């Protein structure tokens, strides 16, 4: 009888231990899942964009259209103009060879005019130099430089850097007279890290041998994408016969198309799978070796969109009923009537019109 009692106690203890172990395992699994989820989320508090067209001459019209297309996209996704730096090396809109004066298009159907009244070019023409580009990154400006020309980022900033132009093995040409090397930009990013000027950077470059531009990146928190690998050219998508030149490059074209189709569900992993050699006629490449988050969980809007912070509260407020028509108030509780003509004018504003 005593043996049975001891056995019963042992079984109870064993069951209790098993329960505790199961609870501990479940808690550990939940903690691990929470940690993995936290690791896949960005901790940034604000977004900035630096968009650069480095090319002169009208036959490079597409490089300006590339940059303006990206500028238009990040604005529509919510980044305000005071957090976008736009650099255009040549004035394609008013170029003597442009038959469509004061206009720039990224498609031969000309449904989207990129150079409208709301475009704010921060650096133009001779201002677009390697020196000024590096000054913008590092925040080392000459006295009197206005705020509109400054990248006033901090350690909570995610930065989208997009560059379009002609390049080669580890260099990108500026103004057809000087070059930005891969060592130049790698050194600038490291200085930015030391100065706590960013949280994460998405660096995208559309040029020949684009992937060589990030060969020397060694700074944590940077993910880089390029339109082509070493010894590969990057190609334009299509031309406008009236303009007599190409209007957009393939990498930029399909990047915009992808974002238009996927919307706020677009992520970096899916983007690279979309940019196939069949579409680009070159090999898109991405370097994630210095980036801590898995790209399949990184939304493009972590870099190209606005940051909305919502503070919640559990505080309550006393209920105050609306006054009725019978009260002495002259205010009406009915919404204003909308005429049929006014209703027809109300239309949703798309993120990006599908024109491709």
Helix/strand/coil (H/E/C) assignment for every residue in 183-222: HHHHHHHHHHHHCCCCCEEEEEEECCCHHHHHCCCCCCCE
CA distance 165 to 159: 20
CA distance 126 to 137: 18
CA distance 225 to 95: 31
- Contact between 98 and 152 (Cβ < 8 Å): no
Instruction: Tell me whether residue 197 is exposed, middle or buried, using C-beta atoms within 10 angstroms of its C-beta: 0 to 12, 13 to 18, 19 or more.
Output: buried
Catalytic residue of the set 166, 216, 237, 238: 166
Number of Cβ atoms within 10 Å of the Cβ of 176: 14
Using alpha carbons, list the distances in angstroms from residue 67 to 232, 285, 291, 296. 21, 20, 25, 25
Catalytic residue of the set 44, 63, 141, 208: 208
CA distance 70 to 255: 9
For 138, the token pair is 């590092």
Tell me the pairing of strands 157-164 and 245-249.
Answer: unpaired
CA distance 223 to 189: 12
CA distance 74 to 37: 26
Annotated catalytic residue 94: no
Longest dimension (CA), the chain: 107
Annotated catalytic residue 237: no
Q: Which residues are catalytic?
A: 166, 208
């Amino acid at each position: 009888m005593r043996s049975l009692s001891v056995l019963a106690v042992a079984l109870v203890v064993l069951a209790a231990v098993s329960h505790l172990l199961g609870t501990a395992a479940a808690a550990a699994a939940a903690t691990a899942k929470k940690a993995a989820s936290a690791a896949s989320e960005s901790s940034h508090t604000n977004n900035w964009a630096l968009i650069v067209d480095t090319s002169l001459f009208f036959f490079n019209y597409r490089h300006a259209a590339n940059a303006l297309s990206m500028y238009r996209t990040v604005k529509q996704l919510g980044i305000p103009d005071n957090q976008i730096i736009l650099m255009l090396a040549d004035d394609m809109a008013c170029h003597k060879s442009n038959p469509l004066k004061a206009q720039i298009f990224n498609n031969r159907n000309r449904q989207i005019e990129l150079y409208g009244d709301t475009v704010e070019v921060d650096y133009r023409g001779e201002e677009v130099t390697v020196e000024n580009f590096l000054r913008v990154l590092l925040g080392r400006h000459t006295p009197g430089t206005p705020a509109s020309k400054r990248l006033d980022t901090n350690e909570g900033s995610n930065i989208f850097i997009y560059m379009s132009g002609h390049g080669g093995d580890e260099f990108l040409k500026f103004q057809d007279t000087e070059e930005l090397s891969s060592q130049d930009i790698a050194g600038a990013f490291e200085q930015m890290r030391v100065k706590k000027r960013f949280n994460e950077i998405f660096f995208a470059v559309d040029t020949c041998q684009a992937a060589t531009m990030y060969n020397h990146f060694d700074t944590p928190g940077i993910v880089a994408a390029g339109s082509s690998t070493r010894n590969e050219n990057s190609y334009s998508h299509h031309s406008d016969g009236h303009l007599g030149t190409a209007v957009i490059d393939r990498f930029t074209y399909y990047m915009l198309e992808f974002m238009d189709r996927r919307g706020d569900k677009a992520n970096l992993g899916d983007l690279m799978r979309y940019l196939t050699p069949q579409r680009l006629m070159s090999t898109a490449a991405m370097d994630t070796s210095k980036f801590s988050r898995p790209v399949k969980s990184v939304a493009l809007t972590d870099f190209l969109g606005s940051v909305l912070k919502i503070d919640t509260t559990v505080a309550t407020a006393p209920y105050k009923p609306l006054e009725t028509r019978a009260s002495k108030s002259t205010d009406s509780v009915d919404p204003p009537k909308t005429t049929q003509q006014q209703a027809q004018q109300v239309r949703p504003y798309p993120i990006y019109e599908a024109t491709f």
